[in-house]
Amino acid sequence: MGNRGYSRGAIVLGDIYSNRLVAYHHWASHDDNKACEWLLVARELSKQDQWELFRPEDSATVRKELPERISKVQKKLKEGFAGCELAATEWLRTHQSSRRP
């Protein structure tokens, strides 16, 4: 999901790690740092929203929900937020450089 530039997919991954969603009928391990990482990946992917034309409702959801979610996780993680930002940056660097045009 995320490596195709789909920001809504990255938010869903964040929800799975924050235990807001059940993944494949099993609870994923709760991991605030991973949830944070995926929310920050979603933020970056939404800046270059390649899905706006095909999934406008998903793009609108991302624009509406993402700022509040990031704010909440930033308050929750406090000093740990910097590590989350670093992990998201690394994921983006790795996956966006390998994407085909």
Taking 90 as the threshold, does the pLDDT of residue 91 lie above it? Answer: yes
Question: How far out from the chain centre does Cα 89 lie?
Answer: 12
Instruction: Tell me which residue range forms the domain holding 46.
Output: 2-97
Of 99 and 53, more confident: 53
Tell me the pLDDT tens digit for each residue of 30-41.
Answer: 889 999 999 999
Q: Cα 65 to the chain's mean position, in Å?
A: 11
- How much is the pLDDT for 55? 84
Measured distance CA(48)–CA(4) in Å, rounded:
11
Burial track 65-83 (b if 16+ CB lie within 10 A, e otherwise):
ebeebbeebbeebeeebee
pLDDT of residue 1: 47
Residue with tokens 């983006």: 92
| pLDDT at res. 25 | 58
* CB-CB neighbours of 25 under 10 Å: 5
- Overall domain count for the chain: 1
Q: Look at 4 and 77; give whichever has higher pLDDT.
A: 77
**Can you give the pTM of this predicted structure?**
0.80
- Asked if residue 76 has pLDDT above 70, the reply is yes
